[in-house]
Structure 1
Amino acid sequence: MKALAIDTSLTRITIAAKNDDKTAYLTLDIGMKQSEKLIPSFEYVLSQVDLKTSELDYTVLCKGPGSFTGLRLAFSALKAIELAYDVPVYGVGTLDTYSYAYSDLDIPVLCAVDAKKNRFYLKAQYKGNVLIDDGDYQLEDACKGILKIESDRIFVCGSDAALFIERIKELVPAKKFLCLRGTPNETENLFAIAEEMMDKKIPTLKDFDGPVYIRASEAEENLTARSNNASE
C-alpha cells in the first residue's frame, strides 16, 4: 500500500509515508509553527520513499481531540489531496491511535493526553471493552472512573502518560500505574488502523467531517458566556 499518515493533534507533528516495503518518518517538535512546516514536511517524507501524492492509495490522520489549530491544518491538507487526486481520507481518534499498540495487554489500558488547566483527555479500554469513555476530564472525575476499574494495575499510554501518573497516583493509591519510557511512533498505528478500517469497509471521512475537539474552544466559551449574560 502507498499511504501518508499525519498526526498534528499535539504541538509536536509526526508525518509518515510508506511505499509498500519502504517507510519514512519525520517528527517536528517545533511549537506553534505547524502551518509553515506541514506541507513542505509531507512533501519531503513522500520524496524519501519515491512516492508522488497522486500515487497514494489513502491518507489517514488523527482526528482529535487535540490542538485546535493543528487538527484543522491536517484536515485541510488531506482533504485538499482528496479533492485533487481522489485519495480517500481516514480519520482515527487520537486516543485510539495512541492506545492501539497495547490493545492486547492483559490489563486495562488508559490513554492520557494533557488537555491543560489540570485536565486530561482520557479513554480506558480492556480487550475491546470501553471502561472510561473518550472525554475531557478533571483529575477528580478521572479518579471516579479509575476506581470503577476492577484491576489493581492499569497500563497508561499516550503522549502524557508519565505526567498523568505523576498527578493521579497519590489520589488513587489503591491502583498501580505502569507506562513505558520514551515516545512511540504513533503514525505506524495510523497505518495499521486505517487498513483494518478498509478491510471492515468502514467509511472514509465525509466532506463535512471535521476534527473532534471534545472541549469547546475559547471563542465558543466566550460566546456562550455572552449569550448567558444577555439572557439574564
Structure 2
Amino acid sequence: MKTDPRRLAAMQRMQQQLGYQFNDIGWLQQALTHRSYSSRNNERLEFVGDSVLNYTVARMLFDAFPKLSEGELSRLRASLVNEGTLADIAIKINLGDCLYLGTGELKSGGFNRPSILADAMEAVFAAINFDADFQTAEKVVQSLFKDRIRTVDFSNQGKDAKTLLQEALQARRFALPKYRIEEQTGEGNEAQFVVSCDLGELGWIGRAQGNSRRLAEQAAAKEAVAWLEQNYSQKNKKK
C-alpha cells in the first residue's frame, strides 16, 4: 500500500502516542483503511479489536472495584466502551490524520466522523494483537483507559451528560433538548465546533465548544444539567 510522507509522519506520531511501535507496518495500515478505500480494510480487525477492548476494560473494572455487582460493572463498561469514548481517544492521538479513505468519505469529512474513528480505533487494538500479542494490546488499552476508569463518576452510574440531561428533563415532564451546530471551523485536528443546547419551553439556550460535534454537545449538555438542577429547584421552592 502506497503511503505519502505526510501520512507516514502522522502514523509515526500516532505510534508514539500509543506507546507501541509496529514491527509490520502493514497491520497498522490495514487498521486505518476504511472500506471506501480498499477491499482490504479494517472491518475484520474491528471484530477482533472489539473483543480485546471489552475484555481488557472488563478486567480493569473487575480489579479496580471488587465490591461492585455484575450489573454495576456492566453499566460502567458500557459507559466507557462506546463510540463516543473511542472517537475521543482517536482524536487525541490524531488517528484521523492517518486514515485511508475513499474520495467520497474524504469530501464528506470522514476523517472526523465518530463512527469511522471508533471503528479504526478498535481495529488498531487488533492490529497490535496480531503484530505482537494479546498482552501487548492489553497494555495499550490499559494506558488509554486508566485515567477514565480512575475518574469514573459513580453518582451518575457512568452516564454521560446528554443522557443525564434527557433523564432530568423527562423526570420533570419537559421536552427533550435540541442540539444545533452554530459554528464549525477548521478541519481534522484543527476542527472546532460550537454547539447550542436549547431547552425550549424553559427559555434557556447554552453554548459550548469542542474539537468534535460530540464533545461540544456533551459540554453543552453538562452546562444544561447544572442550570436545570439549580434553577428548577429554586422555582420549586418559590411555589
The reply to whether TM is greater than 0.5 is no
User: Which structure's CA Rg is the greater one?
Assistant: 2
Q: TM-score, structure 1 length as denominator?
A: 0.23
Q: Greater share of helix residues, 1 or 2?
A: 2
Q: Greater share of strand residues, 1 or 2?
A: 1
